[in-house]
């Protein structure tokens, strides 16, 4: 079977060029220990998440330390956490909500909101101003 030396994709006999990159196919099979190069578009959030989970080359960037800035609980926890995520991400602060799928099925669980340590003070202030400010009262 022919294969593309760039993508390492195998094709049926009679195919002459790669459907993905347009390269000329070679006879035989791809080398057994080779893997196609993976190209991913990267952004600030992707880099940040990569550093959190430790994926990729360890020399790429130092890991980011995360801290819990708020914990949501009760029947409105998923809604409150999603609102908090939107408030912070609109201001450029990436957020992680570990267990957000679980808390929807098991509402007695708590839902922590994590941010990078460098964003913690600002995130805490934004959330406090929104969630902990006194409500409006109607004047009759």
Residue 89 is predicted with a pLDDT of 93
Residue 87 pLDDT class (50, 70, 90 cuts): very high
Whether residue 76 is found in the same domain as residue 123: yes
Question: The domain spanning residue 67 has which CATH number?
Answer: 3.30.70
Mean pLDDT of 10-19: 83
Residue 114 per-residue DSSP state: E
Which residue in the block uniquely carries the two structure tokens 């080779």?
Answer: 34
pLDDT tier for residue 26 given thresholds of 50, 70 and 90: confident
123 inside domain: yes
- Determine, yes or no, domain membership for 19: yes
Find out whether 78 and 86 touch, Cβ atoms under 8 Å.
Answer: no
Query: Quick check: is 50 in a domain?
Result: no
Mean pLDDT, to the nearest integer, of 102-111? Answer: 74
What is the number of structural domains in the chain? 2
Higher pLDDT, 115 or 53: 115
What is the pLDDT at residue 49? 62
Q: Are 17 and 67 in a shared domain?
A: no
Instruction: Inform me whether the pLDDT recorded for 39 exceeds 60.
Output: no
Same domain, 73 and 118: yes
Query: Is residue 59 over pLDDT 60?
Result: no
23 to 17, 35, 99: CA distances (angstroms): 5, 17, 44
Task: Give a yes or no: residue 94 inside a domain.
Answer: yes
The answer to whether residues 67 and 117 belong to one domain is yes
51 pLDDT band (50/70/90 cuts)? low
Mean pLDDT in residue range 26-55: 63
Residue 1 lies in a domain: yes
Give 50's Cβ-side CA count (13 Å radius): 16
68 and 8 together in one domain: no
User: Could you tell me if residue 116 is inside a domain?
Assistant: yes
Where does the chain show beta strands of DSSP type E? 66-72, 111-116
> Which residues pair with residue 16 across a beta bridge?
none
- Asked if the structure places residue 138 within a domain, the reply is no
Residue 80 has pLDDT above 70, yes or no: yes
Number of other CB atoms surrounding residue 29 within 10 Å: 11
Neighbours of 11 (CB within 10 A): 15
Give the structural domain span for 22: 1-32
What pairing do the DSSP bridges indicate for beta strands 111-116 and 66-72?
antiparallel
Residue 53 within any structural domain of the chain = no
């Amino acid at each position: 079977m022919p294969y593309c030396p760039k993508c390492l994709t195998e094709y049926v006999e009679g195919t002459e060029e790669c459907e993905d990159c347009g390269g000329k196919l070679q006879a035989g099979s791809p080398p057994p220990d080779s893997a196609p190069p993976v190209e991913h578009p990267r952004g600030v959030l992707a880099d940040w998440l990569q550093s959190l989970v430790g994926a990729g080359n360890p020399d790429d960037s130092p890991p980011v330390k995360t801290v819990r800035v708020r914990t949501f609980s009760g029947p409105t926890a998923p809604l409150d956490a999603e609102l908090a995520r939107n408030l912070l991400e609109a201001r450029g602060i990436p957020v992680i909500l570990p267990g957000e799928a679980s808390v929807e099925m098991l509402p007695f669980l708590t839902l922590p909101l994590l941010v990078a340590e460098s964003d913690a003070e600002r995130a805490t202030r934004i959330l406090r101003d929104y969630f902990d400010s006194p409500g409006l009262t109607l004047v009759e």
